[in-house]
Structures are given as structure tokens and as C-alpha cells.
């Protein structure tokens, strides 16, 4: 085996992910076939459900919003070499910040409450991510372990706070008091009838801004440069006079703030109240989104859209095809995560063989 | 041009008649709560009711499982738009979504179980869980040799406490000195889906000398019954009749006839006798009770059966009033 030759860029960023997704669908199709349904019909229903009509597309964009924020929370930290598995918990705790300011300002128009919710959600999410950041920077506790554990702490803590303190009397399920309609993050169907009866809201636009913002921060600022240096070589970063521990803490806080926007979307917008476990896995999907998107905002946007379509299309499939159960939908989604995330490089060696051009031949012929 | 107009007119006509047919012969729909269709407990009980309807009438129904809270409104709306009625949604977590959607579909009938939604096209079915739990509490206390029994709710939650409190009251009516341990599986709704954790929690109770455990944890309860069976002790099932899960080791089950509620709603719709409003099902209505079948026949002595029958009669007549935890958020025993 000679030294590995890097793949052409378009193969690396476009062809490889597309092949991975197709492979996942192929195996998912076999699963669908095994239960006696037509896999092509299933794909058709999923695409129709995700993009075919207004409210379905609205749901796709709603899920996409969550996945963009969670994906950015992972990507941002990853640029600094930190593997943040905690967006789930960070978003959950951010929900507390969102609901506290929203209820305090309840009744005021959304132009006042929404910025307050963004700030509060960002601060709470940042605080929850800052602690693992601090423990990594000052105590050397590995960020992967601490962020995972902080997800569990968040679940217990929030469960306690919601059921014992935020729950109003006379309400059966565990949830906070509702935010008045006027103070919620406005849904896009207020402006576009197309999205009628779908939960997509202004947070989606916030997500698009966040994509641009993260790109600018990471690749166009001095801070972003320091972050990337730290990510690629901590020793070089220290030698260049960058305070690694300070960078780790700030980056984690920023990542947590990003995850906190998931709470603005759900608590402030869709549900209009804080319910138990509202994040429902979006934070973990964010890890897959970030890796499929190679940590770049553009890639994150595309893979978030893919997962959003998978979630909404999956719901449509469960509704339309009686033989398809919830578990099968999860299986198909898991296959996509498996092939694009965990086994994302499986097809790399064969592709490298396909695109490998022997160097001596090319120099002789090409001149 | 005329041809395409013609065909599209036909297509439109066909679509319209399909919609009309849909409303004329409305099929019922059933949307399960977070625990999922085959949780061997609450949701499965609703499923069994729907299957009963299907078998008896030959009519069909549709059902759906959801994967997240955002899908609640969506799922109700989907079925309502397609003309299903009644739409049955077991679980108190549906209350907010139903309150939002139901007014948009005034001609569709909705049935919510375990919660009250006061709208003109909604029937709310609630149960007196404390009454059925009182009965299984009596059985547990009479079966226990150690003088220690346990209850494992999914988490600290009013509805589940109503089970636990009735159980304690029933047990203490037999043996005032009995020790009742109460341990939660988790801290939130996901605890309903965590049989592994439920097993651990139960083992810890068994280690402390408990010999009868009442599971109030929906799908996670399978872990409770498993642990009790493995230790050669007794579990008590909940919602559905779970006596068959570990024959000889499930003392009884506190059945909550969610199946009857679902079945009745579908039959009423078919017979044109559907009504809105709140329906409360207790012992008197046979909405709750202790399950006796061939799987636990050897575990129940005639004295135990007599004690249950006696208490049943007294609760129905009003001589015994079982406390409802939800009224004052406190348990007197």
C-alpha cells in the first residue's frame, strides 16, 4: 500500500455523503420489503410528507431548525477539538431560561419577549456547557464524559424543577404555565399561509442567521482562527500565545448558547410552555448532523435538512403505511446515522482506489 | 384542452365522492401515547379495545404511534382532516394538543382518556384508580409474609400517586402495621420506557424484604414483574391484565378498562349514541378492578377473594371511601 492520496474535494464533500445516504436507504428499503411493503412507495410517501404539501414542509423546516442549532453546537466545539455530546442537556436547561423570562414578560408583544428569550436561552445553555468546559480546561476531565453525564443531570434537575416548581395547580401533565399567544415566537404561518398548521417559526430564520454567524466567527475572525489552531494543534496554540483553557471555556459556552436556541424554537415557539423532555433527542441528532456536515455550516444546513425530512417523512410514512411501525422509522433514521456518522468513512478506501491516479503515469503522459 | 378539463373534472368528482364516503362511513382512529402500542399495559389496553371492536363489527380502524411531543397536534389534525371519528387518544399528555385542535373540527368526535378536556365534541374518560388499587393492596397485604410490600411508580406524579395511595390504604386496612415501600423508576416520562431501571429499583426493594411489588410504571413495569418473578416473589400488574406474563408470580393486576373506554367510544359512534362530557369509571362501573384468571388462581386463597369481594361491595355502596390523592395531593396513610 502506497501513501494515501486525498480524494478530490467534490468526492469528499458531495459524493461520499450521498453514497452513504443511498446505502442507508438501500438497507432501509430491505427492512421495508421484509414487512411486505413496497420500498419505492415508502420513499415516495416520505418525500411527499417532507416536501409535498405546506404543513408537511413546515414540519420538515421545524425539525431542521432544531437540528441546525444542535448541529452547530457540536460543530462549533469540534472546531476547537472539543467533542460536545451535550446539546441535549444544554437545550433542556436553556428551556428553563426561556420559560422564566417568557413568563416574567408574559403578555408583552413578541418583539420584546423573543429577544429576551434568545438571550436567556443562550445564557442558560451557555452556563450548562461552560461547566464541562471549565472542568476540561482546569481539571482535565474529559469533555466527552462530562457532557454526556451533564445530559443526565439536566434530565433529573429539570424533571424536579418542572414537576415541583413550574407546574401550575390543576394541570395533570408535567408542564409549566403556558406563554400567552402574543408573547410567543411567531409562527411563519402568520406571514405565509403555506405553512398553515405547522410549527415552523421565526427560529428558523434565526437558525439561518446562526449558520452565517458561525461561518463568519470560525473562518473570518481572529477568535475563530485561535479556535481552529487549538483544534488542530493545542501545543502550537499554546506556543503561539493562545490561552487554551480560556478558549475551551468560551467555545463551550458558545456551543451551549447555540444548543439553547433549540429551546427558543420549542419552548418559546412550538409548545409555548416548558414540558418534560421537550428536546426529545434533537441534541443527539445534532451530533450526527455535525459529522455528516463535516463541521461546516453549509454541510450542517444540508444534513439538518436531510434529517428534518427524515423525521417528518417518517411520521407521514407511519401515518400512511399501516404496516410500518414507529420502530421501523427509527431503524431507518438510525441507519442513516450509522452510515453517515459512525461508518462514514467505510466507502473511502474503494473510492480512493477509483479516483487514484498513479503519479508516474500522469507525469509521463500529461506533461 | 377540453379533454384535460374533462379528466380533471372526473378526478375532482372522484376525489369529492371519496371524501364524502369518508365522512359517511367514518372509521375510528386511535393514537397511542409515548409508551407505544405494545407496552403490555395502558396503550395496549386501548389497542385491545379497538381490536375487540374490529372483531365484533368487522369494521376497520386506523392507529398511529408518535415519537415526540410536536407530533401530537399534527397526528390529531391528520386523522381529523381525513374524516376519522371518533379519534381516541389515551393519555393525559394529549390534553393541550386536543384543546388546540378540537375546536377546528366541530363535527369530529374526540375521546381523551385519563384527562378532562371540556369541549362540546370531546368525551373525557377518567378512572378511579384508587379504588382498584385498594383491592390489590388488600391482596398484597394478605399475601405478604414479611410484612413488607412495595409499590414502584414510574415517577413522582399525581396520577401515579393515586394508585400508590389507594394501594397503601387497602394494605393497611388488612394489616395496619404493614410497611409499604415506594420507589420511583425515574424522574420523568421517559421512565415509562425504562424496564432496566425498573428492574434495579425493584431488586433494591426485594433486598429490603419486600415480597409483593405493585408496578405503576406502564411499559417499564415489565421490569418490575420480571425482577419479582426472578426472586421467587410476587408482582402486581397494572392497566392491562398482566397475570399471564409470569404465571404463578403475578399475584393479580389492577386492571383499568381503557379497552372498554375505547371500545365503547367506537361502538357509540357506530350506533349513533356518542355523547360528549366526562365519564368517570370506578369499581361500580367495572372500569377498574383486580384481575382473577387461571394464571393466578393458585395464588389467591378463598379468604383473599372474599376480602376483595367484601371491599368491592363496600366501596360501591359507599361504606368505604378510598382517598383520591389528586384531590389534595396528600395520602392519609
The pairing of strands B250-256 and B288-290 is antiparallel
What is the DSSP secondary structure assignment for residue B154, as one 8-state letter? S
Share of chain B above pLDDT 70, in %: 92
Q: Show the beta-strand stretches assigned E in chain A.
A: none
Gap between the Cα atoms of A142 and A123, Å rounded: 23
Res A360: pLDDT: 60
Gap between the Cα atoms of B210 and B206, Å rounded: 5
Residues 6+ apart with CB under 8 A from A234: A81, A244
3-class SS at B124? strand
For A175, the closest chain B residue by CA position comes to B93
In chain A, domain spans: 69-296
Tell me which residues of chain A have a C-beta less than 8 Å from any C-beta of chain B: 55, 59, 62, 155-156, 158-160, 163, 172-175, 178, 197, 199, 266, 270-271, 273, 275-278, 280-281, 311, 314-315, 318-319, 322, 325-326, 329-330
Res A3: pLDDT: 52
For A324, the closest chain B residue by CA position comes to B64
For B101, the closest chain A residue by CA position comes to A197
| pLDDT score of B6 more than 80 | no
Are the C-beta atoms of B72 and B92 separated by less than 8 Å?
Answer: no
| Nearest neighbour of B190 by CB, restricted to A277, A311, A325 | A277
| pLDDT score of B23 more than 60 | no
Are the C-beta atoms of A311 and A318 separated by less than 8 Å?
Answer: no
pLDDT in tens, chain A (367 residues): 445 667 888 888 788 888 888 898 899 889 889 888 898 999 999 999 999 999 999 999 999 999 999 999 999 999 999 999 999 999 999 999 999 999 999 999 999 999 999 999 999 999 999 999 999 999 999 999 999 999 999 998 998 899 889 988 777 677 899 999 999 999 998 898 889 889 999 999 999 999 999 999 999 999 999 999 999 999 999 999 999 999 999 999 999 999 999 999 999 999 999 998 899 899 999 998 998 888 999 999 999 999 999 999 999 998 988 778 888 888 888 888 888 777 878 888 888 888 876 666 544 444 3
For B189, the closest chain A residue by CA position comes to A276
Contact flag B189-A276 (C-beta cutoff 8 Å): yes
**Shortest alpha-carbon distance between residue B64 and chain A (Å):** 6
Contact flag B190-A329 (C-beta cutoff 8 Å): no
Are the C-beta atoms of A300 and A68 separated by less than 8 Å?
Answer: yes
Residues 6+ apart with CB under 8 A from A349: none
Phi and psi at residue A282, in whole multiples of 5°? -60, -35
Cα separation of the two ends of chain B: 80
3-class SS at B242? coil
Q: Write the pLDDT tens digit of every residue in B108-122.
A: 999 999 989 999 999
What is the DSSP secondary structure assignment for residue B298, as one 8-state letter? T
Contact flag A281-B78 (C-beta cutoff 8 Å): no
Res A160: pLDDT: 87
For B35, the closest chain A residue by CA position comes to A326
Domain B129-255+301-328, classified CATH 3.40.50.2300, yes or no: yes
Are the C-beta atoms of A313 and A50 separated by less than 8 Å?
Answer: yes
Same fold yes or no, B26-127+259-281 and B129-255+301-328: yes
Neighboring chain B residues of A318 at a CB cutoff of 8 Å: 64-65
Among A173, A270, A307, most B C-beta atoms within 10 A, so best to mutate, is A173
Which residue shows C-alpha cell 452565517?
A212
Residues 6+ apart with CB under 8 A from B15: none
More confident residue, B35 or B92: B92
In the predicted model, what is the mean pLDDT of residues B3-12?
A: 47
| Nearest neighbour of B93 by CB, restricted to A155, A173, A330 | A173
Q: Write the pLDDT tens digit of every residue in B141-156.
A: 999 999 999 999 998 8
Q: Can you state the percent helix, strand and coil of chain A, rounding each to 5?
A: 75, 0, 25
Burial track A168-204 (b if 16+ CB lie within 10 A, e otherwise): eeebbbbbbbbbbeebbbbbbbeeeeebebbbbbbbb
Structure ipTM: 0.76
| Nearest neighbour of A174 by CB, restricted to B66, B67, B188 | B188
Contact flag B189-A277 (C-beta cutoff 8 Å): yes
For A200, the closest chain B residue by CA position comes to B70
DSSP letters for B55-69: HHH----EEE--SST
Are the C-beta atoms of A102 and A166 separated by less than 8 Å?
Answer: no
What is the DSSP secondary structure assignment for residue A323, as one 8-state letter? T
A:B CB pairs within 8 Å: 81
Contact flag B70-A159 (C-beta cutoff 8 Å): no
Contact flag A322-B70 (C-beta cutoff 8 Å): no
The pairing of strands B250-256 and B110-113 is unpaired
Res A304: pLDDT: 96
Degrees, nearest 5: CA angle A355-A358-A364: 130
Res B19: pLDDT: 43
Among A63, A169, A176, A276, most B C-beta atoms within 10 A, so best to mutate, is A276
Mean of per-residue pLDDT scores for chain B:
89
Res A332: pLDDT: 84
In the predicted model, what is the mean pLDDT of residues B121-143?
A: 95
Res A4: pLDDT: 62
Domain B26-127+259-281, classified CATH 3.40.50.2300, yes or no: yes
Q: Write the pLDDT tens digit of every residue in B221-274.
A: 999 999 999 999 999 999 889 999 999 999 999 999 999 999 999 999 999 899
Gap between the Cα atoms of B2 and A152, Å rounded: 65
Res A337: pLDDT: 82
HSE, side-chain direction, 13 A CA sphere, residue B10: 5
Tell me which residues of chain B have a C-beta less than 8 Å from any C-beta of chain A: 36-37, 62, 64-71, 73-75, 77-78, 92-93, 95-96, 114-115, 155-159, 186-190
Contact flag B115-A172 (C-beta cutoff 8 Å): yes
For A163, the closest chain B residue by CA position comes to B157
Which residue shows C-alpha cell 415517577?
B155
Q: Please report which confidence band the pLDDT of residue B21 belongs to, taking 50, 70 and 90 as the band edges.
A: very low
Res A363: pLDDT: 47
Gap between the Cα atoms of A62 and A189, Å rounded: 12
Amino acid at each position: 500500500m502506497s501513501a494515501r492520496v486525498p480524494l478530490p474535494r467534490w468526492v469528499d464533500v458531495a459524493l461520499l455523503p450521498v453514497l452513504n445516504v443511498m446505502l442507508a436507504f438501500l438497507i432501509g428499503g430491505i427492512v421495508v420489503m421484509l414487512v411486505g411493503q413496497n420500498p419505492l412507495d415508502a420513499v415516495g410517501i416520505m418525500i411527499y410528507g417532507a416536501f409535498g404539501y405546506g404543513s408537511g414542509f413546515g414540519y420538515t423546516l421545524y425539525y431542521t431548525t432544531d437540528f441546525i442549532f444542535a448541529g452547530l453546537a457540536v460543530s462549533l466545539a469540534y472546531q476547537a477539538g472539543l467533542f460536545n455530546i451535550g446539546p441535549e442537556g444544554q437545550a433542556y436547561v436553556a428551556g428553563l431560561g426561556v420559560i422564566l423570562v417568557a413568563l416574567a414578560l408574559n403578555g408583552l408583544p413578541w418583539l420584546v419577549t423573543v429577544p429576551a428569550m434568545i438571550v436567556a436561552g443562550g445564557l442558560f445553555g451557555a452556563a450548562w456547557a461552560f461547566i464541562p468546559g471549565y472542568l476540561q480546561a482546569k481539571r482535565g476531565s474529559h469533555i466527552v464524559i462530562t457532557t454526556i453525564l451533564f445530559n443526565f443531570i439536566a434530565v433529573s434537575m429539570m424533571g424536579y424543577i418542572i414537576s415541583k416548581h413550574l407546574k401550575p395547580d390543576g394541570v395533570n401533565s408535567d408542564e409549566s404555565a403556558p406563554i400567552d399567544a402574543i408573547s410567543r415566537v411567531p409562527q411563519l404561518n402568520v406571514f405565509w399561509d403555506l405553512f398553515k398548521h405547522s410549527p415552523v417559526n421565526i427560529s428558523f430564520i434565526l437558525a439561518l442567521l446562526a449558520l452565517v454567524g458561525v461561518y463568519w466567527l470560525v473562518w473570518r475572525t481572529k477568535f475563530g482562527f485561535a479556535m481552529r489552531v487549538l483544534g488542530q494543534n493545542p501545543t502550537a496554540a499554546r506556543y503561539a500565545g493562545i490561552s487554551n483553557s480560556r478558549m475551551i471555556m468560551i467555545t463551550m459556552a458558545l456551543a451551549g448558547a447555540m444548543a439553547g436556541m433549540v429551546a427558543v424554537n420549542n419552548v418559546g415557539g412550538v409548545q409555548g410552555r416548558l414540558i418534560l423532555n421537550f428536546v426529545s433527542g434533537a441534541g443527539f441528532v445534532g451530533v450526527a448532523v455535525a459529522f455528516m456536515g463535516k463541521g461546516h455550516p453549509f454541510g450542517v444546513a444540508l444534513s439538518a435538512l436531510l434529517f428534518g425530512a427524515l423525521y417528518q417523512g417518517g411520521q407521514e410514512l407511519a401515518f400512511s403505511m399501516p404496516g410500518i411501525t414507529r420502530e421501523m422509522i427509527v431503524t431507518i433514521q438510525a441507519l442513516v446515522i450509522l452510515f453517515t456518522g459512525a461508518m462514514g468513512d467505510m466507502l473511502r478506501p474503494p473510492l480512493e482506489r477509483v479516483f487514484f491516479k498513479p503519479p508516474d503515469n500522469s507525469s509521463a503522459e500529461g506533461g | 384542452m377540453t379533454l384535460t378539463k374533462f379528466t380533471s373534472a372526473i378526478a375532482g368528482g372522484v376525489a369529492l365522492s371519496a371524501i364524502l364516503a369518508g365522512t359517511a362511513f367514518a372509521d375510528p382512529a386511535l393514537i397511542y401515547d409515548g409508551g407505544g402500542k405494545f407496552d403490555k399495559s395502558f396503550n395496549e389496553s386501548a389497542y385491545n379495545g379497538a381490536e375487540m371492536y374490529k372483531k365484533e363489527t368487522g369494521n376497520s380502524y386506523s392507529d398511529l404511534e408518535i415519537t415526540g411531543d410536536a407530533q401530537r397536534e399534527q397526528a390529531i389534525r391528520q386523522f381529523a382532516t381525513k374524516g376519522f371519528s371518533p379519534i381516541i387518544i389515551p393519555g393525559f399528555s394529549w390534553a393541550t394538543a386536543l384543546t388546540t385542535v378540537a375546536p377546528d373540527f366541530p363535527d369530529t368526535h374526540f375521546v381523551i382518556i385519563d384527562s378532562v378536556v371540556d369541549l362540546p365534541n370531546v368525551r373525557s374518560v377518567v378512572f378511579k384508580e384508587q379504588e382498584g388499587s385498594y383491592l390489590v393492596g388488600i391482596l398484597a397485604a394478605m399475601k405478604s409474609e414479611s410484612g413488607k410490600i412495595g409499590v414502584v411508580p414510574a415517577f413522582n406524579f399525581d396520577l401515579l400517586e393515586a394508585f400508590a395511595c389507594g394501594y397503601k390504604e387497602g394494605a393497611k386496612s388488612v394489616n395496619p402495621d404493614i410497611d409499604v415501600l415506594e420507589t420511583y423508576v425515574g424522574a420523568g416520562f421517559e421512565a415509562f420506557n425504562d424496564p432496566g431501571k425498573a428492574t434495579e429499583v425493584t431488586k433494591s426493594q426485594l433486598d429490603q424484604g419486600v415480597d409483593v411489588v405493585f408496578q405503576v410504571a406502564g411499559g417499564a413495569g415489565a421490569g418490575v414483574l420480571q425482577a419479582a418473578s426472578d426472586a421467587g416473589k410476587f408482582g402486581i400488574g397494572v392497566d392491562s391484565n398482566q397475570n399471564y406474563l409470569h404465571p404463578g408470580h403475578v399475584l393479580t393486576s389492577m386492571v383499568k378498562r381503557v379497552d372498554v373506554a375505547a371500545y365503547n367510544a367506537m361502538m357509540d359512534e357506530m350506533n349513533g349514541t356518542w355523547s360528549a362530557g366526562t365519564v368517570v369509571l370506578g369499581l361500580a362501573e367495572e372500569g377498574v378492578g383486580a384481575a382473577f384468571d387461571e394464571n393466578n388462581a393458585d395464588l389467591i386463597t378463598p379468604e383473599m377473594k372474599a376480602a376483595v369481594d367484601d371491599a368491592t361491595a363496600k366501596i360501591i355502596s359507599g361504606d368505604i371511601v378510598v382517598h383520591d390523592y389528586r384531590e389534595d395531593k396528600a395520602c392519609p396513610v
